[in-house]
Amino acid sequence: MTRFAAPIAEAIWDMKYRFKAPDGTPIDKTVEDSWRRVARAVASVEDDPSYWEDRFYAALEDFRFLPAGRILAGAGTGRQVTLFNCFVMGLIPDSMEGIFENLKEAALTMQQGGGIGYDFSTIRPKGAPVRRVGADASGPLSFMDVWDAMCRTVMSAGSRRGAMMGCMRCDHPDIEEFIAAKSDPARLRNFNLSVLVTDAFMEAVKADGPWDLVFDGKVWRTVRARDLWNRIMRATYDYAEPGVIFIDRINAENNLYYCETISATNPCGEQPLPPYGACLLGSVNLARLVRDPFEPSARLDFDELEELVRTGVRLMDNVIDVSLFPLPQQWEEARAKRRIGLGVTGLADALLMLGITYGSAEAVAATEDWMHRIARTAYLTSAELAAEKGAFPLFDREKYLAAPMLMKMDEEVRAAVARNGIRNALLTSIAPTGTISLYAGNVSSGIEPVFAYTYKRKVLQPDGSRIEEEVVDYAVQLWREKHGDKELPEHFVDVSTLTPQAHIRMQAAAQKWVDASISKTINVPEDIPFDAFKDVYLEAYAEGCKGCTTYRPNPVTGAVLSVGEKEKKPEVVAKGEGEPAQPHGDVVYISEPLDRPQELQGTTYKLKWPGSEHALYITINDIVVNGRRRPFEIFINSKNMEHFAWTVALTRMISAVFRRGGDVSFVVEELKAVFDPRGGAWMEGRYVPSILAAIGGVIERHLIEIGFIEGEGLGLKIDPSARVVPLEEPPRGPVCAACGSFDQRMIEGCLTCMDCGYSKCG
């Protein structure tokens, strides 16, 4: 018997959360081993570790409580990774030294697996004088390009690219350029973008008044507020960004209003955080708590819900003490405030099992009730923990009890906090749960509606054949088990049938009892008129939301495939299930590195750099996949010991890229673009800007010789892990970086692959 409700769930566990040795040998033999590993690690700080290990294991069992992916993958492994999901970096000083010091901190954070958020409003606008050097500033967008390039380079936690949120205030002089940045399909691809919207701006929009763009106390120019607002709305309609963050509301409703100011969020928006703020995430799986589903007696088990919340709060509080942190400032911030982000997933499935239509008045009432119960139990539990272990260090009883969330709480909660203090300054958040919801049996994600009840994925078999596997929503699967092929009831709505207003009502209902924020995407159809779309953010503001994100299929970010379009996508293979198919016979996409055969075909090239005493010897070995030769590994050797470190680094990094598959020709272009400030050299009648560019030329020559690319300069210029689309084929949207599938869906701000489950957000 397997614990997994669907094959894709087991594939996700094996690929992302199963502890394996460096050579790929599984250490976690079963998912129970993974649960035990996590439970033991987070219980290690308790006075009675064995007792709490069993309690934590019981909560994890059967996917009832779902710690975020970094906890599942990292706890108890001994790896040098953080268990925290969310970081906002320090304020960026308006100086070259400060900017690049922050860039270094961002790289260190992403190296350990943290997603980061930044407020770029502190950098002077484009054209501002730089007095000491007699030049004009290039503006914050140019430095965001540097961050974007860094993020492309740093592999987050060794297995996935980092994710970033870039924020800018609505009164920054470069705000219009920021709003339009994502219109370029090649720019800032590693960023989510959000405008920090103030209450004053919203009032100016309503009044159709003037709006000053200001930096360092100086008004650069004045625009019509409504014109600027319409730019935001037109941009998000045309290419799905930027989102908006109602920053004044966030600060006014912050439990820690008295000791911090927030100006950015983590990449998906569910955690507004101060400079160096850190938060970890976990979700109660509501879909597992419904008793008698689809029956007149169907109900949510409130006793179990509250028990899971109590256990989850303690488990997450312990994670703060067992986690590593990339920077000491993050460690200090986390321990001073002990933020956690407890949320839910499977809400839409739970509603379906109770016979409630998502977005209806009944669903709104149920959502508000459930989140109230969760918040109340979480605050009481944290107050009890404070009596046992102490309140968070920056707790100020009088000021904390005056926070809006505490003012809404009943007298029992307020009395407990007044008596004991509270262990965790903030406790609730609704995170993007795209991958862990698949791991939990394809339950609906977070508080999102069900996107599609069924879809197909292609799975490669050991004999090389492919079968089509149906992936079914968790609630639909339960319905089938009870009722066979009987038609789904009318209350089974999905994202294609919902209005933007239904999304907003659900988000606002949950927000009332969430002290942080909510990651949610309002998916709208491509053919929605702009006039029906343009007031979505205004409605979100009016309903009390802290931010808003929309996604409309568009030519820049691509179309989210509908169920009926599934048959059009190329056959590709799910992660970790063998050799992938080639959509056009030209590029192989894989997610797990290929095993090295005993013998490989290869070629060695001699490269003599002018002026260097010793030559470089470059060996490139190839593997044959689906009858096609492709690079598998590279070795760069030299007798010059000054070259030793960087040649070893290149050998390891380029070989790792080659073994991941896809169109790796971008490596050539990246190397050829490197210039040496000391000067290049003339080789074979042409100027080569650096020895690294010369190595790129050798690799290019090899790729041409084996037929991997057609000729010089014809490799990919950037690395989106995307194949080249023939001119006669219309663009099909972004391709999955792991398996090559075009079937990606925007779920809570994260493009999530429905074939293999890959998401840059976790």
Which of 148-157, 201-210, 520-529 has the highest mean predicted lDDT (pLDDT)?
201-210
Catalytic-residue membership of 626:
no
Among candidate residues 270, 306, 448, 670, the one labeled active-site is: 270
In contact, 432 and 266? CB cutoff 8 Å: no
Cα 582 versus chain centre, distance: 27
Q: Give percent of the chain above pLDDT 90.
A: 60
The yes-or-no verdict on residue 717 having pLDDT over 80 is no
Average pLDDT value for the chain: 86
Burial class for 64, CB neighbours closer than 10 Å (0-12, 13-18, 19+) = buried
Q: What per-residue confidence (pLDDT) applies to 208?
A: 96
Separation between Cα atoms, residue 225 and residue 206, nearest integer Å: 9
* Pair 346, 438 in one domain: yes
Q: What per-residue confidence (pLDDT) applies to 728?
A: 36
Among candidate residues 102, 190, 192, 266, the one labeled active-site is: 266
- Choice between 550 and 646, residue whose per-residue pLDDT is larger: 550
- Choice between 213 and 573, residue whose per-residue pLDDT is larger: 213
- Cα-based distances in Å from 297 to 294, 481, 483, 626, 650: 8, 18, 17, 55, 63
* 3-state class (DSSP) for residue 60: helix
Which of 311-315, 479-483, 558-562, 609-613 has the highest mean predicted lDDT (pLDDT)?
311-315
Give the list of residues 6+ apart from residue 212 with CB closer than 8 angstroms, or none: 171, 219, 221, 222
In contact, 68 and 762? CB cutoff 8 Å: yes
Q: What per-residue confidence (pLDDT) applies to 162?
A: 66
* Pair 373, 431 in one domain: yes
Q: Give percent of the chain above pLDDT 70.
A: 85
- For 712, the token pair is 């010089």
What residue numbers bound the domain in which 45 lies? 1-21+32-85+280-505
DSSP symbol at 688: E
Of 505, 539, 568, the residue that ends a domain is 505
Mean per-residue pLDDT, 239-267: 96
Per DSSP bridges, beta strands 281-285 and 341-345 are: parallel
- Give the H or E element holding residue 761: none
- For 464, the token pair is 């090389």
The yes-or-no verdict on residue 663 having pLDDT over 80 is no
- Cα-based distances in Å from 723 to 262, 593, 734: 40, 19, 10
- Cα-based distances in Å from 159 to 37, 670, 720, 737, 738: 20, 20, 15, 12, 11
Separation between Cα atoms, residue 346 and residue 444, nearest integer Å: 5
- For 143, the token pair is 């430095």
* Pair 71, 161 in one domain: no
* Number of folded domains that form the chain: 3
Catalytic-residue membership of 753:
no
Of 460, 487, 505, the residue that ends a domain is 505
Per DSSP bridges, beta strands 686-688 and 681-683 are: antiparallel
Q: What is the largest CA-CA distance in the chain?
A: 84
Q: What per-residue confidence (pLDDT) applies to 707?
A: 84
* Pair 192, 332 in one domain: no
What are phi and psi for residue 352, nearest 5 degrees?
-60, -45
pLDDT of 403-448, one tens digit each? 999 999 999 999 999 999 999 999 999 998 888 999 999 999 999 9
* Pair 107, 81 in one domain: no
Separation between Cα atoms, residue 638 and residue 615, nearest integer Å: 6
Q: What per-residue confidence (pLDDT) applies to 685?
A: 74
Of 237, 264, 291, the residue that ends a domain is 264
Q: What is the dihedral of CA 673, 679, 683, 686, to 10 degrees?
A: 60
| Among 344-348, 367-371, 466-470, 746-750, the least confident range | 746-750
* Pair 113, 68 in one domain: no
* Pair 160, 229 in one domain: yes
* Pair 138, 214 in one domain: yes
E strands, 368-430, where? none
- Cα-based distances in Å from 359 to 301, 348, 352, 560, 728: 22, 10, 11, 21, 41
Residue 592, domain member (yes or no): no
The yes-or-no verdict on residue 585 having pLDDT over 60 is no
Is this structure's pTM higher than 0.75? yes
Q: What per-residue confidence (pLDDT) applies to 739?
A: 54
Residue 734, domain member (yes or no): no
* Pair 69, 95 in one domain: no
The yes-or-no verdict on residue 640 having pLDDT over 90 is no
* Torsion sign, CA atoms 361, 364, 370, 372: negative
Q: The CATH number of the domain where 687 resides is what?
A: 3.30.390
Residue 139, domain member (yes or no): yes
Residue 26, domain member (yes or no): no
How many helices (H) and strands (E) are present in the chain, helices listed first?
25, 31
Among candidate residues 86, 268, 545, 753, the one labeled active-site is: 268
pLDDT band at 723 (very low <50, low <70, confident <90, very high): very low
The yes-or-no verdict on residue 559 having pLDDT over 60 is no
pLDDT band at 567 (very low <50, low <70, confident <90, very high): very low
Residue of 149, 142, 136, 151 lying closest to 89 (CA atoms): 151
* Pair 450, 391 in one domain: yes
The yes-or-no verdict on residue 641 having pLDDT over 80 is no
| Among 141-155, 208-222, 308-322, 542-556, the least confident range | 141-155
Mean per-residue pLDDT, 37-43: 98
| Cis geometry, peptide bond prior to residue 242 (ω within 30 degrees of 0) | yes
Q: What per-residue confidence (pLDDT) applies to 755?
A: 62
* Pair 326, 293 in one domain: yes
Separation between Cα atoms, residue 363 and residue 360, nearest integer Å: 5
Q: What per-residue confidence (pLDDT) applies to 78?
A: 93
Catalytic-residue membership of 270:
yes
* Torsion sign, CA atoms 56, 62, 65, 70: positive
